Amino acid sequence: MTNKIEKTYLILLVVLLIVCIIITMFVCQKSNEDYKSNKEIKIHIIHTLQDTKSLQDKVDKVSKTIDDNMSYSLEYVGTSLDMTSKDWVKIGNYINSVYDNYDSFIVISSDNSLTYTSAALTYMLESLTKPIIMTSKMDTDDNIINGLIYARELKIPEVVIMSDNKIYRGCCSNRTNTGSFTSTDLEPLAVLIKENIEVNKDIVLETPISQMVYKPFNTNINVIVIKLFPGITGDYINKTLGNYHVQGIVFELLGNGESPVADSFLSAIDNLYKKRTLMVGVPQMRHRGKEIKNIEMMNVLEKRGIFNGDGMTIESSLAKLYHIISTVGDFEEAIRLISVPLRGEISK
C-alpha cells in the first residue's frame, strides 16, 4: 500500500514538472514574441557611403529568399568622409522626414564612424518607437539576410548596432581590435540564432507612449575629445585649444580614472570651467560591472569641473554633450544631466 502511494505521488510530481516546463516555455516564447512583429513590415535602408545600385541588386536577390512578410526601399544619404556633427544631423533630418512611413530602418555607415553616428542618432531621436539598426556591412548575403530579419522581426525601440549576429545598444557600443563591434559594459540586446531571435528583455528599453521627438544637434557648437597622458600640462591644453572656442570636452582619463594633478593642469581646467565649458571624464579601461576605482581622484576633478562619465563610452559621452549643450540653456542643469541616464547610456 505504501509503495503504491509513493508511486502515485512520484507520478503526480513528474506530471506537475512537465506542466511547469511547458508553461515556462510558453511564457518565454510569448515574452520573446512581444519584441517581434508579425504584420507586414516596411523596411527603409539608408546608405551613407556610396551609390545604392549594387546594394539594391543584392537586396532584391536576397529578400526573395526570406518571405513575403516585408517590403523594403533604399535611399542614398551622402555624408562626408570627414564625418562631423553636420553629417549626423543630415542623417537625423532624413530619418525624421520619413519616420512615419516605415516600421524599421537600417542605416549603413563606415566602420570608423559607426559608433559615433549610432550615439548621435540615439540622442537626437528621442522617444523612439521603432528600431534603427546600424551596420557597416551589407556586403554579403548573410549580412543582408541578418539585417532584414532583424528589421522585420525586432521591435526594440532603440538605435542599435548589428555585429556578428548580435544586436548591441548603439550608445553603449565600441569597436574591437578585430574590426567588429561589441559592448564592453552591456550584454547584447538580442542574438540571432539561425532565424530565431533571442531578446534579452531585461535590458531592453520600454517602448515610450509618446511620439518620437526629433532634437537635432546645434552644428555651430564644438565638442572635442582630449586623451590624457602622463606628463600632460595645462600649457599643452592651452596651446592645443588656442583661440578655438569649445563648449564641451570629453577627457579620456588614464587607466581606471586616473588624472594628472599638477597645478598647471588643474589651473587650465579651472579656466575652462569658468568659461562654462561642459566637461566629462571617462576612464580609458572598460570593465563590465566595475566603476572607477579612484573615487578620491574623481572628487578632485569634479571640484575643478570635470564630471564623472563612468559607465559611458567616449562616443556616447561626446554625443551626450552635443545633445545637452544643444538643448539645455542652464549650465547647472547641464551638469546635472551628465550623470542622468537619458537613453540607457550609463551601464554599470
Share of the chain above pLDDT 70, in %: 84
**Mean pLDDT of the residues in the chain:** 86
Query: What mean pLDDT comes out for the span 135-148?
Result: 83
d(CA 218, CA 124): 11
Average pLDDT in the 317-322 region?
98
Q: Is residue 9 part of a domain?
A: no
Give the separation between CA 26 and CA 266, rounded to whole angstroms: 59
Which grid coordinates are listed for 222?
A: 564644438
d(C-alpha 125, C-alpha 342), whole Å: 11
For range 11-30, the mean pLDDT: 59
Q: Which comes out higher in pLDDT, residue 7 or 315?
A: 315
Domain shared by 135 and 62, yes or no = yes
**pLDDT over 80 (residue 12):** no
- Percentage of the chain beyond pLDDT 90 is 55
Per the domain annotation, does 282 fall within a domain? yes
The reply to whether 231 and 287 lie within a common domain is: yes
Please say if the pLDDT value at position 287 is more than 80: no
- Residue 132: name the closest of 155, 166, 101, 116 by CA: 155
On whether both 167 and 229 belong to a single domain, the answer is no
Total-model pTM = 0.86
Domain end position, chosen among 145, 179, 214 = 214
Give the lowest-confidence range in 61-70, 105-114, 339-348.
Answer: 61-70
pLDDT band at 255 (very low <50, low <70, confident <90, very high): confident
Q: Would you say residue 344 lies in a domain?
A: no
Last residue of a domain, one of 188, 214, 240: 214
Does 22 fall in a domain?
A: no
| Residues 243 and 285 both lie in one domain | yes
Q: Where is the domain boundary, 182, 214, 246?
A: 214
Residues 68 and 133 in one domain: yes
What residue numbers bound the domain in which 146 lies?
41-214
Residue 71 shares a structural domain with residue 137: yes
**Looking at the structure, do residues 314 and 285 belong to the same domain, yes or no?**
yes
Is the model's pLDDT at 25 over the cut of 60?
Answer: no
**Do 86 and 103 belong to one domain?**
yes
Do 111 and 159 lie in one domain? The reply is yes
The secondary structure of residue 100, as a DSSP letter, is G
Segment 320-329 shows an average pLDDT of 97
Residue 284 lies in a domain: yes
Q: Please, which pLDDT band fits residue 30 given cuts at 50, 70 and 90?
A: very low
74 and 174 co-located in one domain: yes
Query: For the chain, how many structural domains are there in total?
Result: 2
Of 45-54, 102-111, 184-193, give the lowest mean pLDDT range: 45-54
Alpha carbon distances (Å) from 139 to 43, 55, 56: 18, 8, 11
**pLDDT for 21:** 63
pLDDT at residue number 292: 53
Residue 299 has a pLDDT of 84
pLDDT digits (tens, 9 = 90+) for 49-94: 766 677 888 888 887 777 667 788 888 888 877 889 999 999 999 9
Q: Please indicate, yes or no, whether residues 200 and 243 belong to a single structural domain of this protein.
A: no
CATH number at residue 180: 3.40.50.1170
Query: Is residue 39 helix, strand or coil?
Result: coil
Degrees, nearest 5: CA angle 125-128-131: 105
- The pLDDT of residue 34 is above 60: no
Give the amino acid at 320. Answer: K
CA distance 320 to 324: 6
Averaged over 313-318, what is the pLDDT? 96
158 lies in some domain: yes
289: left (phi over 0), alpha (psi -120 to 50) or beta: left
Per the domain annotation, does 237 fall within a domain?
yes
pLDDT at residue 27, rounded to an integer:
46
The CATH code of the domain that includes 289 is 3.40.50.40
Query: Is 12 inside any structural domain?
Result: no
Is 273 a residue whose pLDDT tops 90?
yes
* 143 vs 237: which has the higher pLDDT: 237
Same domain flag for 209 and 229: no
